[in-house]
Structure 1
């Protein structure tokens, strides 16, 4: 009996490339110099017109598998193509401008082999600006699945190019990146997967995530109205899963809460924000979708952030949310003072 080629390999590192010549060699070297050496490095060239292909072809490493799209297909279609042709049991995502720590793959494979109930595992890392390398921001994502599920109601606590995924879970459940979530396609994917499968973060810094001025996330932030429109589609997935009814105004309030750190102007009062968040708690108490202690703490965290960006510490201290997640004035001021740096690296 012939064994299918798809299951002969443990790891596929999937890296789409489009005009990434400036940082590509550094990204490739960080993968090829891993402590874990047995993998397929699947690089999909999405119609690059710069030096990217020449850089890739300059490597003489049999692990590299270079595939060319016949035309520029965009990130979503390229990633989905990669999922289909990857031969690994695990798919390790990598972007062409980031830097993987040398033990990244080894750490993630060992973790997944020891936790067969986990579908996706991300990690923490360090975010840095390409043009201002001295400005760095260590990430502090939630680790546990129970916490991540709650956070996904508002944002993605998963660093996309830092994940390792089980290919069979993606294929068997038809999980793919969706066009309707363009520029936040990973967030939409995590929300879909987390309904029925575990997503966690490994508590180690395994990736250095580069922010460049031309990055898609950066561009999307500049087009905030378009970003909110797409994000609301993902929020709807989470709200429907929670079983809460919402008006268009309430959906807008939810978006304003979730995106509070990126907004310059706020439309809704803190009273309306509080009312909506209490409605979410009531819905969860009724349906029991999330553990109430963890869910309530996350709701309180969101209100605390709103008070940092559009309020005062007293607003939070005097709210009922402070009972779920007590916060000190020192914590408030520390976050308040970090607002400017945080906005620079988002």
Structure 2
């Protein structure tokens, strides 16, 4: 279990958080990884923060112009050299055994695509007491119904899934990747909390409900090239399943780290 893991990390004006995110990768018990940070023309101190890390496994790439997370992820995937592909946004965190446990889970069960549970934290890295899970097995049909996995928990075998490149979507570009990956393998849940997702005021993930519905529609219309009718039906299904996820797969726990 010593194959290279390529970790894709888009960044934009997260100088306040990115050091902690990078450190959570450095502290992994699994050591054979490369971190590809793709900066989207940040205007804060991200450059200065990243330059403090001298680890040769870290590659700092830059977009020519501000282009969005979809372009950054595409760039990172083009540059990735690992058998395993994983994702961590520049304000989120991993638990120390995340990579080791997930690869072991996949190799033991002959899986090619997996995700884990995660907990939510605030801007000060304090737990909000919520752990998010999902279905134990996500088929292509189920993935179309909703984006069940958290991006920070995904890992897949690049040799099986192949090269993924997505449309330039402002929102739900991670979902666009899973919709492509699921065509080559079902996705399986490792039922352990191995990541920490940061809830930030003003972030794109906290976009208003009406705009989120719009972005779901654009995912299907522009990303998946569906007709207007199919895109509308898929959007309605996504909204319904989003409510179901909150009811069925979000647990409130006092014992979060």
Tell me the TM-score normalized by structure 2: 0.82
- Distance verdict in 2 for CA 1:261–1:215, change over 3 Å: farther
Q: Secondary structure at the match of 2:4?
A: strand
Partners of 1:234 and 1:124 lie apart in 2 by 30
Secondary structure of the corresponding residue to residue 122 of structure 1: strand
Q: Which residue of 1 aligns with 2:194?
A: 206
Aligned to 1:192: 180
Tell me the alpha carbon deviations over residues 53-112 of structure 1, each in whole angstroms, 9 at most, x when there is no partner: 111111122221212222223211111111111111111211111110000011122223
Note if 1:168 corresponds to 2:166: no
Q: Secondary structure at the match of 1:125?
A: strand
Q: What SS is found at the alignment partner of 2:106?
A: helix
Instruction: Map 1:208-227 to 2 at 5 A.
Output: 208-219=196-207, 221=209, 223-224=211-212, 226-227=214-215
Matches within 5 A, 1:128-143: 128-130=121-123, 133=126, 135-143=128-136
> How far has the Cα of 1:227 moved from its partner?
2.1
SS state at 2:136 partner: coil
Correspondence for 2:38 among 37, 44, 60: 44
- 2:239 aligned residue: 259
Query: C-alpha deviations, 1:109-168, integer Å up to 9, x for none?
Result: 22233344x3321111112333794533211211224xx444323211111121112222
CA distance, structure 1, for counterparts of residue 22 and residue 228 of structure 2: 47
Deviation for aligned residue 1:251: 6.2
Q: Secondary structure at the match of 1:29?
A: helix
The CA distance in 2 between the partners of 1:214 and 1:17, in whole Å, is: 16
Q: Does 1:154 align with 2:142?
A: no
Verify the 8 A CA contact 1:19 1:48 in the aligned structure 2: yes
* Residue matched to 1:271: none
The alpha-carbon deviation at position 225 of structure 1 amounts to: 5.1
C-alpha distance after superposition, 1:201-232 (max 9, x if no partner): 21111111112122222226452452242254
Q: Tell me the distance in 2 between the aligned counterparts of 1:213 and 1:128.
A: 12
The one of 70, 73, 95 aligned to 1:76: 70
User: 1:123 touches 1:162 (CA, 8 Å); kept in 2?
Assistant: yes
Equivalent residue of 1:21, what SS? coil
Q: Which runs of 5+ in 1 are unaligned?
A: 1-7, 241-245, 263-301, 309-334, 342-346
Structure number with larger C-alpha Rg: 1
Number of the residue aligned with 1:114: 108
TM-score (norm 1): 0.63
Structure 1: distance between partners of 2:131 and 2:192: 11
In structure 2, how many angstroms separate the alpha carbons of the residues matched to 1:134 and 1:168?
36
Q: Distance in 2 between matches of 1:220 and 1:121?
A: 29
Q: Which residue of 1 aligns with 2:50?
A: 56
- The structure where helix makes up a greater share of residues is 1
Deviation track 1:175-201 (CA, whole Å, cap 9, x = no partner) reads 32222x441122222223223322212
Q: What is residue 171 of structure 2 aligned with on the other side?
A: 183
| 169 and 83 in structure 1: CA distance in 2 versus 1, 3 angstrom threshold | farther
Point out which structure has higher relative CO (alpha carbons under 8 A, 6+ apart).
2
Distance (Å, rounded) in 1 between the aligned partners of 2:55 and 2:125: 32
Determine which of 88, 91, 99 is the counterpart of 2:93: 99
